[in-house]
Amino acid sequence: MADISSIQQAKTIGSQNKDIRYEERKAVRLIISNSQNQIIIIHVQKGNYYKLPGGGIEDDEDHALAGEREALEETGCKISVGNFLGATEEWRNDLHQLSYCYNAKVIEDTGVLELTELEIGEGLTHHATKVMHALAAALELYSDIYLLFGALEPAQAAK
C-alpha cells in the first residue's frame, strides 16, 4: 500500500511549527460508491460539517484492513477497497496526520453501525449522494475537497 515517501503529489495542509510537539497519526479515507453511483459521506452534527468515511490505521493493520474496519464502523457497510487516489499531509494544532485515500465499493450494507462514544456524542450520521453534492457539502474541509476532486476524474471519464 501507499507510503507518503512514495507519493509525489501529496497535498500539504498547514505547516509545521518547530515549537510544537506533534502527535503523529496515519489515517485512511475512503470514497465509497454504491450501486447507484453515489458516494457515502459522513455528517458530523456537532460542528455541522461533512467528511469522508475513514479513520486511524491501527499498528496491526494495512490500509485496506483499516478502511474495511472504519467503513463498517461508521457506515455499516462491508466494502471492497480499490485503487489509491491520493494523500494529504495535515499540520493542525498539535496533530501531524498523513491521510491516504482509496476508492471503495459497497459489497453489503449491514445497517449496523459501531460508533465510538465520541462519534455518538458528535452526532455522526452518513448518507449517499452524488460526488458534486459531496463537494458542495465538504467546502469547509479542505483535505476532503482535494481527495473528492480526484474522484471526479474517473466519474467524468465514465460519461
**CATH number, domain with residue 122:** 3.90.79.10
Q: How many independent structural domains does the chain possess?
A: 1
What pLDDT is stored for residue 4 in this prediction?
A: 44
**C-alpha distance from residue 22 to each of 16, 35, 113, 120 (Å):** 9, 40, 31, 26
Ranges of the chain with pLDDT below 70: 1-9, 138-159
Within-domain flag for 141: yes
Its pTM stands at 0.79
Within-domain flag for 58: yes
What pLDDT is stored for residue 139 in this prediction?
A: 63
What pLDDT is stored for residue 155 in this prediction?
A: 53
Within-domain flag for 70: yes
Within-domain flag for 146: yes
Output the nine-digit C-alpha cell for 63.
490500509
Quote the CA–CA distance of 31 and 103 in Å, as a whole number.
5
Say if residues 62 and 45 touch (Cβ distance below 8 Å): no
Within-domain flag for 1: no
What pLDDT is stored for residue 12 in this prediction?
A: 87
Q: Find the domain containing 64 and state its range.
A: 20-154
